[in-house]
Amino acid sequence: MSFTTTVLTLALTLPSGLLGPGPMGPHSGSPASVFGSPVSGFGLPVSGSPWPGSVWPVGPPPPPVLRGWEPPPGPYAPGHRGVDLAAVAGTPVLAPVAGTVAFAGPVGGRGVLTLTLPGTGSPPLRTTFSPVAPLVAVGDRVAPGTPVARVAPGTHCARDCLHWGLLRGERYLDPLVLMEREPSRLLPLPPLPPYAY
């Protein structure tokens, strides 16, 4: 078998994520789906590590995901517009990435915190947390890992949890993409000596 045939065989049998951008992880989000590509229309390129220094909002990292993102088929259809992370009341909520506090207060009797993420296009991405007791005020700029709230008791889950969302405008996205890094890529193999072919 020639060197070229070997490399082609490897390329056809390895998972697509090793060859370039594609689905990353056990959920349906990927950096391309959030940051943009000619197909997605979000308008931001995929380059480098999308969220350097990102941290999980609650720990120990990574926390158990009690319920994943289930995008609704329409704006008023049922679905799950975020993920539920296991977290008991009183647990500190950390800013997963750098952002600016856009909202901190009650909505329908439940505490909500929203961060706007700079440099993420127009309209910018926003990440939300509930039920929480905010520790920051509107306009505060926060770095990844900054305590921004505490998990509050609520009825969103059968047990205590933090509901974490991500939006662009009115479109809900999978917040777990904020934990992604640059996808692995298949690197060229070094030349082999003639006797190895």
Q: Which DSSP string do the residues of 50-103 spell out, in sequence order? A: SSTT---SSSSSSPPEEE--B--SSTTS--B-SEEEE--TT-EEE-SS-EEEEE
Burial of 180 per CB tally in 10 Å (0-12, 13-18, 19+):
buried
Confidence of residue 8 (pLDDT cuts 50, 70, 90): very low
Confidence of residue 191 (pLDDT cuts 50, 70, 90): low
Confidence of residue 47 (pLDDT cuts 50, 70, 90): very low
Tens digits of per-residue pLDDT, 132-157?
999 999 999 999 999 999 999 977 78
Instruction: Report the range out of 17-31, 104-118, 158-172 with the highest average pLDDT.
Output: 104-118
Largest CA-CA distance found in the chain, in angstroms, rounded = 73
Tokens of 14: 């390895």
The larger pLDDT score, comparing residue 122 to residue 81, is at 122
Q: Report phi then psi at 6, rounded to 5.
A: -60, -45
Distance of alpha carbon 197 from alpha carbon 191, whole angstroms: 10
CA dihedral sign of residues 51, 162, 132, 168: positive
Report the pLDDT value the prediction gives residue 171, as an integer from 0 to 100: 87
Rg of the chain over Cα atoms, rounded to whole angstroms, equals 20
Model confidence at 159: pLDDT above 90: no
Distance of alpha carbon 175 from alpha carbon 31, whole angstroms: 11
Report the pLDDT value the prediction gives residue 13, as an integer from 0 to 100: 36
Report the pLDDT value the prediction gives residue 101, as an integer from 0 to 100: 98
SS3 124: coil
What is the reported pTM? Answer: 0.68
What does the pLDDT average to over 55-78? 84
Element at 125 (helix H, strand E): strand 125-130
